């Protein structure tokens, strides 16, 4: 049995070690139909083929591109055949959606960064430990009405 072949048999633990994906996630992938088992071993372990290894790698790649598991399940459900001509346009649409989510998140992070900059500018002396009241450093919590 060569690595990654259809006839290769792996337990869920071996598939986890080879992909770096936790066993719990692999069980979720199996239960949701993203990967298939070839049955169970005599010890009742789930057994997988090299096809499952490739599927898990593909899922990881799509997750790395920002797709959710729900989107990946939907893609797999609607395009069950890897050579289906519809998978390309459907995947392109999902990637546009992932990009839009990412752009929204980037904008949120930029707003947070701007608030940090504004706060640092407004409280420069306190943050540097230079603001004093009666010879003592001012606690920024007290200035803000906290503590």
> Contact, 43 vs 10, CB < 8 A?
no
What is the overall mean pLDDT for the chain?
85
- Range of weakest confidence among 18-22, 111-115, 141-145: 141-145
Q: Confidence band (pLDDT; 50, 70, 90) for 2? A: very low
C-alpha to C-alpha distances, 45 to 40, 41, 55, 86, nearest whole angstrom: 5, 5, 19, 35
Contact 50, 3 (CB under 8 A): yes
Confidence (pTM) = 0.70
How far is Cα 95 from Cα 88, in angstroms, rounded to an integer? 10
Residue ranges and CATH numbers for the domains of the chain are 1-64 (1.10.1660.10), 68-128 (no CATH)
């Amino acid at each position: 049995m060569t690595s990654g072949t259809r006839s290769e048999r792996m337990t869920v633990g071996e598939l986890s070690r080879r992909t770096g994906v936790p066993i719990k996630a692999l069980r979720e992938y199996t239960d949701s139909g993203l990967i298939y088992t070839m049955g169970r071993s005599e010890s009742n372990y789930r057994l997988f083929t090299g096809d499952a290894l490739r599927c898990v790698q593909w899922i990881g790649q799509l997750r790395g591109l920002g797709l959710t598991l729900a989107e990946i399940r939907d893609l797999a459900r609607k395009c069950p055949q890897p050579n289906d001509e519809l998978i390309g346009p459907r995947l392109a649409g999902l990637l546009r959606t992932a990009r839009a989510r990412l752009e929204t998140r980037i904008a949120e992070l930029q707003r947070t960064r701007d608030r940090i900059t504004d706060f640092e500018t407004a409280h420069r002396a306190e943050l540097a430990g230079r603001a004093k009241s009666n010879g003592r450093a001012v606690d920024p919590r007290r200035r803000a009405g906290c503590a």
